[in-house]
Amino acid sequence: MDRVFYASNFITVTKTGDVEWIEIQDKVKSHILQFLEAGKLILDKKAPAADEESGYDDSETVIKIKTILDEYIRPAVEQDGGAITFHSFNEGVVRVKLQGSCSGCPSSTVTLKAGIENLFQRLMPEEVKSVEALD
């Protein structure tokens, strides 16, 4: 395995190129199952998500952006094993962080521009001009 990403309701495992899934899938499934059955915690305490850290002074525009992310975008991204979090909003540009299977995915740029950016421009045409992903 190369990377493991977890969220509230899924786990994404990324393997190295020199190993085939058929060689490791049973071992990965077994390891995850044993971990869950043992009732272990992945972390001792919950770290705040990027979009939870600055919630106390959000403008009306940022609140609307976060609502659109939560209601429309995040569920769709999570279905593909990824995650998206709000990072910032400045001068019409929404900055987000893509994680899990979305980070490094060749389609993520198309999804970001054709899907997410178009949705924001349709729902918030006066405020949002573009959407960018942070590395």
Domain match, 61 and 33 both? no
Give the type of residue at 101.
S
27 lies in some domain: yes
Domain that holds residue 59: 55-134
What's the CA gap between 64 and 58, in Å, rounded? 10
75 lies in some domain: yes
Specify the number of domains making up the chain: 2
For residue 56, pLDDT beyond 70: no
Q: What is the pLDDT of residue 53?
A: 47
Domain match, 63 and 31 both? no
What's the CA gap between 132 and 33, in Å, rounded? 36
Domain match, 59 and 99 both? yes
Residue 100: alpha-carbon gap to chain centroid? 6
Q: What is the pLDDT of residue 1?
A: 64
Domain match, 30 and 68 both? no
Would you give the DSSP letter of residue 39?
Answer: T
43 lies in some domain: no
42 lies in some domain: no
The CATH number linked to 113 is: 3.30.300.130
Tell me the pLDDT tens digit for each residue of 59-110.
Answer: 999 999 999 998 988 888 887 777 888 999 999 999 998 887 666 666 667 7
Closest to 61 measured CA to CA, from 133, 134, 129 = 129
Q: What is the pLDDT of residue 47?
A: 52
11 lies in some domain: yes
Secondary-structure percent of the chain, ordered helix, strand, coil, rounded to 5: 40, 20, 35
Residue 5: alpha-carbon gap to chain centroid? 10
3-state SS, residue 71: helix
Q: What is the pLDDT of residue 94?
A: 94
Domain match, 63 and 129 both? yes
Domain match, 68 and 24 both? no
Domain match, 61 and 120 both? yes
Entry pTM: 0.62
Task: Quote the tokens at residue 128.
Answer: 């949002």
Domain match, 122 and 86 both? yes
Closest to 97 measured CA to CA, from 75, 82, 80, 113 = 82
Domain match, 33 and 65 both? no
Contact 68, 58 (CB under 8 A): no
Task: Quote the tokens at residue 43.
Answer: 């972390």
Tell me the pLDDT tens digit for each residue of 31-49.
Answer: 888 887 888 777 655 555 5
